[in-house]
Structure 1
Amino acid sequence: MRTTIIKKTLRVPTSDGAPGDGAAVARQLDAALITSGFKASRELLEHVSGLADAEDYAAEVVRAVKELIGARGQHNPYFKEFPHNVPDTLAFWRECLRDALEQGIAPTNNLLDLPKYGRVQHSYEEMLRAHDELIPSLKDRITLVHLGGTLEEEAQRLFEELATSPIPLAENDRALLGELAVLCPDGELDVPVRENRAILNAARLVAQRPLQDIDTVTDVLRLAAEASGGDVTLKEPTRFRSFRRPERRALLGALNEVAESKLGDVGQNREAWKRLGERLHPHEYPFERAQDVFAVARGEKVARSFAGQVELAFAENDVERAAEVLAKAPGLLLRQLDRLLRHGAGNLAERVEAAVPEVSSRVLISVLEHLSNRTTPDTARVFATRARRVWIADDDREPLDAKAVAEIVEVVENELIRRLPDYSELVVDDEVLDVVVPVSGTEEGFGVLPRGSKLWLEGDVLRFFVHWRQHAKRTDYDLSAVLLDEKFEYQGQVSWTWLKRKGAYYSGDVTDASDGATEFIDLHRDGLKAKYVVPQVNIYSGEGFDDVAESMFGFMSRDLGQMGKPFEPSTVRARSAMRGKGKVALPVMFEREGDAWFGTWLHLYLRGASWGNRVEENRDVVKLIAAAALRRKYFTVARLRDLFARKASTKDAPAFRIGLVQDETGTVTTVSELGKLLSD
């Protein structure tokens, strides 16, 4: 848990070890952190200096930050001298064929049958000797590591941060919240996200404590799914476990307290309710309303859902009745605004003004972002689920009326301005202006930002990488990049089928990851002609992103004169875990602008084929996604700053600074904390 807390918060829980002289270890700790692009705060160094047995404590800190940036493994590229001396593709294949013939192996049409192909031919130590030491630069990243409270205090603090998050958590954070819910007292917390409520209630259920904050039937279904080790979001089917008798009584009792008007929600998850009913035996308990839930699921009782009433009104072309029904559910009204506007509903601005006080800030932000992109037509619609799966369709919708949109936008913005905290001064770091205000959790990692966020990268060389370690069977991932011009037209690729072109170099194809494998692609600013570069990770064979023991994508930047080995921790700008259902990952895209690079986070997964995915087969889809991602208007920190400017400052209120990372003072509001500024 200490390592998890350090990786998640960059706060190091204090040690309860005996006092003594740890000054030498403190100096060694700071030196070790600097080589990885981190630095210990003054309080952390003072704490280590006062410990008698500081070695293990300091080693754990270093181990945690190395795991955070992906520096624990040995990143050994296929081509020992990469990015230098990368061979021509056909010349390399001929060399592999010649090697097979020299060993008496009959040639085939499959590269994987050649002994030299896909298997690193040198040791990690031999690779290190082929590279000069990295020359440090003032441009290298330095991230501060702070001293926290005790382990119990930091665990409780992290638990409360996750539980009270105003936005839905990513999968890894939901799992962490479940662990912490067992260890930490939950007290009187305000938990706005229903998935988080279910996670906390699952811990209460197992501990036979009273359940809390249940007011819909779906809350109980989420709780049962979480308590069964299933998907609390209900996107994937859950195999419900056998519940103990006290657990069955608690779940059915909670269902019995839900208002009868909520029975219409059962139809959204009818099959899941049937399976759960087989585990709960509702007929054995005197809870009539709970029994009605399962009767609705079986079709023995009719309960028209709220959404069904809305659909009926639209089907009868009665848009005003649909608007009246939706007005009773403020959140649903905001989510249906596009449809109401397209059907010409009247008085929408007034209805929205009455609804917005009851709607969460993340929904209001999503509405603003959506409406910002609906007054002009687009060539294609790119859909992305919460699981980050993406698909594309033609955009045949008529653009919305700009005047009607502007009226609604003003109402929603006014509500967000009302929710902003009073402030005396606001400082926004330039590097965070193009970061998207998060409305859902992001991938686990370091320097990871919400989809659509832009970050500025300087340096002569931009290098991105993929690292994976297979779990049970041979697994081959392929790092590739699509090169596009100013009009998003295809200009070429870099991949295992095209090892290099002017300004772009591939480190070589590794086809087995039993001990972990890494592939790199280098982009040299002065040689590359492409305007846009879209990296992708293709699953060629083996285990999926959710099945491997480890998988991650990251990127780093450096100057040519810095030298160094292929993976240098201090030059890593971001490292993101790859966990998704598709066979092709699109983590980020890069854009050249003058002497700088701009990265735009995508966090998307394409379905792909079951086997043999290659960049040649998906490059046209990637072009559309790249164009749509850059053309889309996002709700960024810059727009949030403008809303602050419309709210008059208050002399005696606190000052706010918004930045990417926490500083020595501990007063910076980071990206992950922005949601708390817009308290509902």
Structure 2
Amino acid sequence: MTITLERLVVRHAHRVPVPDGPAGAGGGAARRFDVALMSAGFKLSGGLLTALSGLTEDAVSGLAARVLPVVREMAGDHVRHNVYFREFPHGVPDTLAFWVSCLLDALADPDADVEIVNGSLNLLSLPKYGKYLHTYDEMLAAHDELVAGTGDRLTVLHAGRPADAEAGRLFLALAGSVTPLTDEERDALRVLAAHCTDVAPDAIPVRENRALINQVRVAEGGGLLLDTVTDVLRLACALSLGDVTLAEPTEFLLTRRERRALLAGLDEVVRRDPAKLGDVAAHRERWKRLGERLHPHEYPRWPHARDVFAVARGEKKAPSFAGRIEVLLGAGDVPGAARLAAHAPGVLFRSLDRLLRTDPDASGAVLDAAESVAGQVSGRVLLSVREHLLNRTRKAKGTRVFAGRTGRGVAVPDTRPPLAPDAFRRLKNLLDDEIRARLPAPAHLVVDPAVLDVALPLSGKATTSGLGVLPRGSVSPVEGELLRFFVYWKQRELRTDFDLSALLLDRDYGNPQWLSYTSLRKAGGEHSGDITEAPDGASEFINLSLRKIKAQFVIPQVNIYSGEGFDEVEESFFGFMLRDEDQAGRPFEPRTVRMKSELRGPARIALPLAFVRGKDGDWRAKWMHLHLRGAFAFNRVEGNRATTAALTRAVIDRRYLTVRHLVDLMRPERLTMLDGGPLPDEPVTLIGLDRPDGLPEGSAAYTPRNLRDLIPA
């Protein structure tokens, strides 16, 4: 268990738990550990190097043996990345010439069975096509060593307390998050909650997190944190190891003890407030299925629990809160609807745009209701509404972007009329004043300018787990001459073909060109070759020379051509590297990896991010984290280029609330922008992309890994 906790701390906090143990002379082992880490793009902080140097050699070596596999996996270096064309990015042939050579080889082979389907050649029937023709070691022999570059990534690992203490610290951070977690973070919280049963968070704002902690409390026989009937439904999903976000169906598998706990909790919620029955209709079918497992009629001592299932079956009426608001809106009583919605402040603030549009003459009453309860609204909702306002100005673009919990994106025309200017200004000022009042006022705030355009992590569905990953809408500079995408997948049972592609568009999102298995060389780039099955794992790469690209936008994507989906394969991930043109090296070099994220979700086309050329000629990444549903099979970049272009345009045109907004609202006694100079020698509050080495003792640091902690409660 200690090894599991250690792994979670390294992955999620970039801290290495320093074990308790006898003092020793571990300096040599610590330096060797540091050198090994640097080969994967990581490095020990000065404090961690000092701490490890005071342990025995065996203790340091043992720790290194456990940590190195974790960081290599974080960078995608735990697998072997081979390429079809051994000398890639050199030696990539013209597409048609390559196909002809494969056909000629097949015709020369008397055992080859070349297949023609509807007059077209089936590439998969050619013996040379889609399979590695050389070993991994032979591929390595064809490449020079990587020349170290000043821009290579070095992610600093900091010293942590022993594993148990660090696990408790991470548990409190995840459980107390004011924004929803990613899938990987929820999995980590589930493990940590089972271990940290004696650690009590001050508050658990996110209800999905509350369900995972309640799951442990059921096993321990402790009191449950239940405010609504939906809390009980989420707990039933957690106990069944299902989806606590309720995005996916769960097969309820419950013990008798768990059934009793659920019914008792449900009865208590409804007994305290019968109006909670109004929430049942939102998940009516799930309640019916749960009722089939709980058998509430067998427990007469919990009559209020039985009412929940009576409502689900339609035997008992329980108007929902939203339904009561709709009745008032239908009658044209917008002020009345606002006053009712004020009893659920979060609902009111999420409905403000609609209320203000429905009857502009009632805007004063609507905003009066909003002002009366603003102090009761969560900071995340306030910021979400503020971001919404950024895209409701008269200058806003006419497209809306919708993204579900699984990241499936849709762009639709925005036909809503603009908000009245006076109401817009009053609401904007209300939001900014309320947010400003809740933000910390640090004595000395230090800000890395590179973090200012990082979007605030207002939702777990706006990002994915991985290394160097930023929330959807973030903009980050691209510093390097060569941009290289990669995808890796390993099939579980079925023959599976993932295709890495890149769509290139001009400034009007037109004139499409692409790099893919049907276009191996194009527009200053090369594709590493098509691999069509991955029983032992497979990789594909796209290499682009940024100075040769004429396009305005580059949009990498991963298409599932056939076989298992992102959620079904044993493993799959996407990422990109940046290099200088004289660095050479293998197709995959972990030190040059800037981003690596898991590929997950039920859709069949992944759009992780887009690259945009600025007016100054420099390139920037715009983070998307979106999926297209796609077809069950045969997805290709040619077939989705219009949809991809429309969705990318909508994301790029949309304005996102960033760290810059919070910094502008803060009122520190002193503000310092990092410019490469030395750090202050006093404790500071730092906001940056990474926690720098040598930060003064007592300082607080906010990076993308814990940026959610900046979101006010």
Say if 2:237 and 2:243, in contact at 8 Å, map to a contact too: yes
Q: How does 1:189-338 map to 2 (within 5 A)?
A: 189-211=202-224, 213-244=225-256, 246-258=257-269, 259-285=273-299, 286-338=301-353
Q: Which amino acid aligns with 2:586?
A: K
Cα distance in 1, alignment partners of residues 328 and 96 from structure 2: 64
Aligned-pair distance for 1:656?
A: 1.9
Q: 2: CA distance between counterparts of 1:302 and 1:144? A: 58
Q: Please tell me the residue identity of whatever aligns with 1:293.
A: V
**Residue matched to 1:429:** 448
**Is residue 349–residue 411 contact of structure 1 (8 Å, CA) maintained in 2?**
no
* Structure 2 Cα separation of the partners of residues 122 and 134 of structure 1: 21
Give the counterpart letter for 2:619 in structure 1.
Answer: W
Partner of 1:656: 685
Residue 365 of structure 1 is matched in structure 2 by 383
Name the residue aligned to 1:8. 12
2:708 corresponds to: 675
Q: Is the 8 A contact 2:411 2:650 kept in 1?
A: no
Letter in 1 for 2:440: P
SS in 2 for 1:168: coil
Please tell me whether the aligned partners of residues 19 and 52 of structure 1 are also in contact (alpha carbons under 8 angstroms). Answer: no
**1:473 positional shift:** 1.4
Report Cα offsets for 1:471-529 as digits up to 9, x if no partner. Answer: 11111000011101111113311111111113111111111111111111111022110
Are the aligned partners of 1:458 and 1:595 in contact in 2 as well (CA < 8 Å)?
Answer: no
Q: Per-residue displacement from partner, 1:572-616 (whole Å, max 9, x unpaired)?
A: 111111111110000010012345320111000100000100001
TM-superposed deviation, 1:654: 7.0
1:74 alignment counterpart: 80
Q: Secondary structure at the match of 1:483?
A: strand
Alignment map for 1:118-197 (pairs within 5 Å):
118-185=130-197, 186-197=199-210
Aligned to 1:468, the other structure's residue is in SS state: strand
Q: Is the 8 A contact 2:13 2:705 kept in 1?
A: no
Q: CA deviation at 1:19?
A: 4.2
In 1: Cα distance, 2:189 partner to 2:201 partner: 16
Tell me which amino acid in the other structure corresponds to 2:703.
Answer: T
Give 2:98's match in structure 1, choosing from 92, 95, 98. 92
Counterpart amino acid of 1:277? G
- For 2:687 and 2:201, the matched residues in 1 are separated by 29
Instruction: Give the deviation of 1:648 after TM superposition.
Output: 7.0
Aligned ranges for residues 374-453 of structure 1 at < 5 Å?
A: 374-376=392-394, 378-441=397-460, 442-453=463-474
Q: Give, as a single letter, the amino acid of the residue that structure 2 aligns with 1:630.
A: I
* Other structure's SS at 1:560 match: coil
1:528-566, Cα deviation, whole Å (9 max, x unpaired): 101110111000001111111111111111110111111
User: In structure 1, how many angstroms separate the alpha carbons of the residues matched to 2:240 and 2:426?
Assistant: 46
Distance in 1 (alpha carbons) for counterparts of 2:208 and 2:427: 29
Alignment of 1:533-612 (within 5 A): 533-593=554-614, 594=616, 596-612=618-634
Q: Are the aligned partners of 2:410 and 2:647 in contact in 1 as well (CA < 8 Å)?
A: no
Contact 2:484 2:544 in 1 (8 A): yes
Normalising by structure 1, we get a TM-score of: 0.96
Say if 2:444 and 2:669, in contact at 8 Å, map to a contact too.
no
Letter in 1 for 2:625: H
Superposed displacement of residue 673, structure 1: 2.8
In the TM superposition, what is the alpha-carbon distance from 1:60 to its structure 2 partner?
Answer: 1.7
CA distance in 2, matches of 1:315, 1:457: 51
Contact 1:422-1:649 within 8 A present in 2 as well: no
Quote the Cα distance in structure 2 between the aligned partners of 1:179 and 1:629: 35
Q: Secondary structure at the match of 2:551?
A: coil
SS at match of 1:341: helix
SS of 1:588's equivalent in the other structure is strand
- Percent of residue pairs bearing the same amino acid type: 49
Q: Please say if 1:117 is aligned against 2:125.
A: no
Q: Secondary structure at the match of 2:114?
A: coil
* Shift in Å, 1:394: 2.6
**8 A Cα contact 1:525 1:595, kept in partner:** no
Please state how far the C-alpha of 1:196 moved relative to its aligned partner: 0.7
For 2:283 and 2:113, the matched residues in 1 are separated by: 57
Candidates 540, 555, 578, aligned match of 1:519: 540
Partner deviation per Cα, 1:8-44 (whole Å, 9 max, x = no partner): 2111112345544333221211111111111112232
SS in 1 for 2:666: helix
Partner of 2:642: 620
Q: 1:678 to 1:4 in 2, by over 3 A?
A: closer
Checking the alignment, whether the CA contact within 8 Å between 1:464 and 1:522 is kept in structure 2 is yes
In 2, distance between residues paired with 1:502 and 1:174?
A: 41
Q: Aligned match of 1:630 in 647, 652, 657?
A: 652
For 1:136 and 1:505, how far apart are their aligned partners in 2? 23
Please state if 1:476 is matched with 2:486: no
1:354 corresponds to 2:367: no
SS of equivalent residue, structure 2 residue 706: helix
Where do 5+ consecutive residues of structure 1 fail to align?
Answer: none
| Gap runs ≥5 in structure 2 | 116-120, 672-681
Q: Amino acid of the residue matched to residue 365 of structure 1? A: L
Q: For the residues of structure 2 that align with 1:519 and 1:570, how far apart are their CA atoms? A: 18
Say which SS state the counterpart of residue 528 (structure 1) adopts: coil
Residue matched to 1:29: 33
| 1:46 corresponds to 2:65 | no
Q: Contact (CA 8 Å) 2:19, 2:161: kept in 1 or not?
A: no
2: CA distance, partners of 1:622 / 1:401:
33
Shift of 1:350: 2.1
Deviation string, structure 1 residues 191-237 (Cα, Å, up to 9, x no partner): 111111111001111222221x2111111111111111111111222
d(CA) in 1 for partners of 2:686 and 2:27? 34
TM-score (norm 2): 0.92
> Pick from 357, 361, 380: which aligns with 1:342?
357
Q: Please say if residues 702 and 709 of structure 2, whose CA atoms lie closer than 8 Å, have aligned partners that are also in contact.
A: no
8 Å CA contact 1:421, 1:678 repeated in 2: no
SS of corresponding position for 1:346:
helix
Residue aligned with 1:639, SS? helix
Question: In the comparison of the two structures, how many residue pairs are matched?
Answer: 675
Whole-angstrom CA distance in 2 between matches of 1:667 and 1:69:
26
User: Are residue 462 (structure 1) and residue 477 (structure 2) matched?
Assistant: no
